[in-house]
Amino acid sequence: MTSAFRLPPQPPTPATEPRLDPNAALQTLDLTKDYGDGMGLTTALDLTIGAGELIMLVGPNGAGKSTFLGLASGMLESSSGWAFIQGHPAGTVEARAALSYLPDNPVLYDDLSLAEHIEYVARLHQTVDWEEYADDLVEMFGLTDRADDLPSRFSRGLKQKTGLILG
Query: pLDDT tens, 25-46?
Result: 999 999 999 888 877 778 888 9
Q: How many CB atoms lie within 10 A of CB 38?
A: 8
pLDDT value for 88: 92
Q: In which element (H, E) is residue 69 found?
A: helix 65-73
End of a domain among 97, 130, 146? 97
Give backbone dihedrals phi and psi of 15, rounded to 5 degrees, phi first. -75, -25
The answer to whether 108 and 117 are in contact (CB under 8 A) is yes
Instruction: Assess contact for 79 and 34: CB atoms under 8 A.
Output: yes
Do 119 and 86 lie in one domain? The reply is: no
Helix axes 114-124, 156-166, angle to 10 degrees: 30
The reply to whether 47 falls in a domain is: yes
Q: Which of 97, 125, 150 is the last residue of a domain?
A: 97
pLDDT tens readout for residues 54-92: 888 898 988 888 899 999 988 899 999 999 999 999 989
Whether the model clears a pTM of 0.85, i.e. scores above it, the answer is no
Domain count along the chain = 2
